[in-house]
């Protein structure tokens, strides 16, 4: 398929997908981000998965966090949602069938639409050796898990071809630390410290044992830290907005929510609770 067959000869948008890792919907609302809201109406949506890897895989299939409509078949919902990519990419007549058989956005954007495709990720579970890295021109695990500004500084846009960027942002992930906070001042929850030291040990989540570890004041402190991280990121997003060319469409969302002590749970992952799926969703074109 040629580019002009899909785009109807119009210039395609750059597309930037920003994923605040672990940011639950109400943390985003409490942060009252002014810059990000310029994109459009903030929606409460639901992630298809409760932790990072399956959720990003889903996002890169082109399935954004879902609304929860009644009386509609899943297949109809997918088709309808995918049509939104016509708006995001500035194309025409792009249907879910365009993705068949790979069902994966990066190779479709790159090979069928001529996009330059880039990923910058914070969480080791998404490292470039994983199968998530398919169809990307560049895919990097950042040196630090919590520095979106460093990602923005690596972003570039070509005049010859549209660009797709996906940013997995870690400031909103436990321990909700901003880049200038010394590591020895990060909060510690029993049993989940040292989460970023090893590739296989960064997953945070589970039932907190009330009698020994549960401490609601600590949980509230962590929740406030996630809210503060969103406030901070609003300023970094402003730098992103200043950087992107005019024809850029941006989606900001999360891969899953987070539990801060509700019903005895902390974190995300092996948790069955509505709050682990509630995520913010806002998107649009700036100008
Ligand atoms: Zn995650």
Residue 161 pLDDT exceeds 80: yes
Query: 159: which 2 tokens?
Result: 């005049």
What is the whole-number distance in angstroms between the Cα of residue 102 and the centre of ligand 1?
24
Tens-place pLDDT, residues 265-275 = 999 999 999 99
**Least confident among 18-27, 125-134, 185-194:** 185-194
What is the whole-number distance in angstroms between the Cα of residue 79 and the centre of ligand 1?
26
Are the C-beta atoms of 80 and 62 separated by less than 8 Å?
Answer: no
Q: Given this model, what pLDDT does residue 136 score? A: 98
Q: Given this model, what pLDDT does residue 200 score? A: 43
Q: Given this model, what pLDDT does residue 204 score? A: 60
What is the whole-number distance in angstroms between the Cα of residue 53 and the centre of ligand 1?
7
In 97-128, which positions are buried (b, 16+ CB within 10 angstroms) versus exposed (e)? Answer: ebbeeeebbbbbbbebbbbbbbbbbbbbbbee
What is the whole-number distance in angstroms between the Cα of residue 52 and the centre of ligand 1?
3
pTM for this one?
0.92
Which among 32, 66, 70, 36 is positioned nearest to 49, based on CA atoms? 66
What is the whole-number distance in angstroms between the Cα of residue 190 and the centre of ligand 1?
20
Q: Given this model, what pLDDT does residue 280 score? A: 98
What is the whole-number distance in angstroms between the Cα of residue 138 and the centre of ligand 1?
21
Angle at 96 between CA 93 and CA 100, to 5 degrees: 115
Q: Given this model, what pLDDT does residue 67 score? A: 95
Residue 5 pLDDT exceeds 60: no
Q: Which residue has the tokens 């979106």?
A: 148
3-state secondary structure of 249: strand
What is the whole-number distance in angstroms between the Cα of residue 248 and the centre of ligand 1?
25
Residue 93 pLDDT exceeds 90: no
């Amino acid at each position: 398929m040629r580019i002009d067959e899909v785009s109807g000869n119009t210039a395609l948008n750059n597309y930037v997908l920003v994923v605040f890792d672990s940011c639950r919907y109400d943390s985003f609302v409490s942060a009252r981000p002014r810059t990000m809201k310029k994109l459009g109406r903030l929606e409460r949506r639901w992630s298809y998965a409760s932790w990072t890897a399956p959720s990003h895989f889903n996002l890169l299939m082109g399935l954004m966090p879902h609304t929860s409509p009644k009386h509609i078949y899943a297949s109809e919902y997918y088709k309808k949602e995918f049509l939104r990519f016509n708006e995001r990419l500035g194309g025409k007549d792009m249907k879910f069938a365009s993705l068949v058989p790979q069902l994966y956005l990066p190779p479709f954007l790159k090979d069928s639409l001529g996009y330059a495709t880039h990923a910058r990720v914070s969480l080791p579970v998404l490292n470039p050796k994983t199968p998530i890295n398919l169809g990307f021109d560049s895919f990097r695990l950042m040196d630090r898990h919590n520095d979106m500004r460093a990602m923005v500084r690596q972003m570039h846009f070509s005049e010859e071809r549209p660009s797709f960027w996906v940013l997995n942002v870690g400031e909103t992930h436990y321990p909700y630390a901003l880049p200038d906070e010394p590591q020895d001042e990060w909060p510690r929850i029993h049993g989940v410290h040292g989460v970023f030291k090893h590739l296989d040990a960064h997953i945070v989540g589970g039932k907190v044992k009330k009698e020994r570890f549960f401490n609601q004041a600590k949980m509230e402190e962590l929740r406030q830290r996630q809210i503060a991280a969103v406030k901070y990121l609003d300023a970094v997003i402003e730098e992103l907005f200043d950087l992107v060319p005019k024809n850029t469409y941006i989606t900001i969302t999360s891969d899953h929510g987070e539990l801060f002590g509700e019903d005895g749970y902390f974190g995300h992952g092996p948790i069955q609770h509505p709050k682990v799926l509630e995520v913010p969703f806002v998107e649009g074109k700036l100008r």
